[in-house]
Chains A and B, each alone.
Chain A
Amino acid sequence: MSAITAEQVAHLANLARIDLSPEEITNLTLDLGQIVDSVAKVQEVATSDVPATSHPMPLTNVFREDVVVPSLSVEQALSGAPARAGDKFRVPAILDEE
């Protein structure tokens, strides 16, 4: 058994910026333990002589000419925003008052 604890799940949820209820943390702790046990199998064959592959097709950096091309207008870019202030995205406070 992998040792995934409720504290760990709560910490991961905080890193991932998802509030979780105590019930969700309990369920996820169980699920994650099972899943991690199962996927840990990759370590059986992942020996040091095997190079890692991050991408299915070998691609190098893709560049284009540095020219202006059409892009979204301000109105289009803001069209899906939950809140706006004039021509800007309106966001909640970045820093806590404390």
Chain B
Amino acid sequence: MTELIRLTAAELSSRLQDKSVSAVEATQAHLDQITAVDTDLHAFLYVAADAALATAARIDARRAAGEELGPLAGVPIAIKDVLTTLDMPTTAGSKILEGWVPPYDATVVRRLRAADLIPLGKTNMDEFAMGSSTEHSAYGVTRNPWDRDRIPGGSGGGSAAAVASFQAPLALGSDTGGSIRQPAAVTGSVGVKPTYGAVSRYGAIALASSLDQVGPVSRTVFDAALLHDVIGGHDPLDSTSLTDAWPSMAAAATAGLKDGALKGVRVGVIKELSGSGFQAGVTQRFTETLALLTAAGAEITEVSAPNFEYAVAAYYLILPAEASSNLARFDSVRFGIRVDPAEGSLTSEHVMAATREAGFGPEVKRRIILGTYALSTGYYDAYYGSAQKVRTLIQRDFAAAFDQVDILVSPSAPTTAFKFGEKLEDPMAMYLNDITTIPANLAGVPGMSIPIGLAPEDGLPVGLQIMAPARADARLYTYGAAIEQLLEATWGHTMLDQAPALALATTAKGAI
């Protein structure tokens, strides 16, 4: 069964369609891999084994009856625990929601089910998506499949680790400041943050509503495109959802595989997202990739985005401000746990404060208090108001850059996966890790991370971030697929074929 789990979603789909593999077999193979490796990796918070097999059996029966099914029908998928699911607990990695089974599906989950994908379970994440390492999950860390002592990125470390360790070919993530792209970079997988509003946020537990975006997590650009086509498009239940008619992202990715797809493409290298602060091996692989692009006929230009320097500062005012307001809904009345105070009267106010003390972890408290401060009378203009102005300046930087180039590139993260605990005691060090990914969220533009090799000094994956103008998500898939093809032709294999820890995981399977 090992072979089945190593197939891409697209390959698995064609085997399902020609009936050489059944959905039950595909699902069972992935459930077996979860059993074999996830006690150790802990990518999943919840595995819906019985429901997944039952769904798979129904899909097989419909296919056998000759029903026409969608391209991803019967393909298993993991779902980040920030997305509400009718039949699985949804905690967003927080104790305050422990055991909560939502009364509705997120729109993206409803669309997955309508397209007959098979939900395998819910993946681990930093509590309420606040973090870059998954160390802030209330349910324990997820390990990086490449090195068990290192972080899988965050907040979507569970989804990235699940696809990188072949527990699922696809996963859903959410990206507020890099939570899809940075985990993809440090696990050697692919992740896409679509244009703000391109994918519905309905049923995505809100962190910062003006920044949050749901997107695909996968091992190949084409698989991400197939998933984007399933989850994307207008949703009347999300008032910020765009009403655009979107092109097929899968067709866009296919276009990138044609000879000469990169010829004449204007690629901008962001001056401010390079140099000091970037690990040597990250810079080396990035520079080598630029050379490959040049050889393939792309025109590389350096562009300056002078206000990106202020992006992290603006983000850590806007995000906490919005989060402190969004998380006010955890009031111990409508959902989640309720904790009575040890002393004092049992009023709603006291019960709410005791519940939030017990239910929220340290990072959530830190950001709520910071957001409350940023929004306080007397500080509002200096902090939150100024951050909103920086947001305008960053949008202008993007607009000026995209006047000159078709896509922008940078390393997806300044370093490879760091060790557990390395940045846990220093919140600012953790926040600065998102310097590459945050600007896209502030401006609403789409971004993608694809693997571009291993850093020579530590043998860990490095990611390339590609960004496009708002609404030009298709461009990411075309050029992402082209660059991926170019790199794999150079290597003679895929990125994840090199993962050393996965060999260990397979050994562990024998031991269990």
- Measured CB to CB, the residues of A under 8 A from B are 4, 8-9, 12-21, 24, 27-28, 31-32, 34-36, 38-47, 50-57, 59, 62, 64, 72, 76-77, 79-83, 89, 91-97
Contact = CB atoms under 8 A, between A and B. Distances in A.
A56 B210 contact: yes
B389 interface: yes
A94 B101 contact: no
B137 interface: no
Contacts of B442: 56
B248 interface: no
B236 A43 contact: no
7 contacts: A17-B349, A56-B196, A56-B470, A57-B197, A79-B101, A80-B100, A92-B347
A81 B195 CA distance: 35
Contacts, number: 186
Contacts of B362: 24, 27
Contact of A41 (B310, B350, B352): B310
Contacts of A9: 369
Given A12-B373, A45-B307, A56-B470, A93 B345 contact: yes
A82 B373 contact: no
B391 A16 contact: no
A13 B365 CA distance: 9
A15 B356 contact: no
Contacts of B383: 36, 39-40, 42
Contacts of B431: 35
Given A34-B428, A93-B348, A80 B334 contact: yes
Given A28-B365, A82-B338, A92-B348, A35 B370 contact: yes
Nearest to A37: B428
B79 interface: no
B186 interface: no
A93 B351 CA distance: 10
B316 A94 contact: no
B509 interface: no
B357 A20 contact: yes
Given A46-B385, A82-B336, A35 B348 contact: no
Given A15-B372, A19-B341, A42-B390, 10 more contacts: A12-B369, A17-B331, A19-B354, A19-B357, A32-B366, A39-B314, A50-B392, A56-B443, A59-B197, A96-B345
Nearest to B198: A57
B438 to A, nearest CB: 12
Contacts of B333: 81-82, 89, 91
A29 to B, nearest CB: 10
Nearest to A19: B357
Contacts of B236: 64
A70 to B, nearest CB: 11
A37 to B, nearest CB: 9
Contacts of A77: 103, 334
B395 interface: yes
Contact of A39 (B316, B338, B369, B388): B316
A67 to B, nearest CB: 12
Given A16-B369, A52-B388, A82-B332, A42 B349 contact: no
Contact of A55 (B101, B210, B389): B210
Interface string B461-500: 0000000001000000000000000000000000000000
Given A51-B389, A53-B395, A89-B334, A42 B103 contact: no
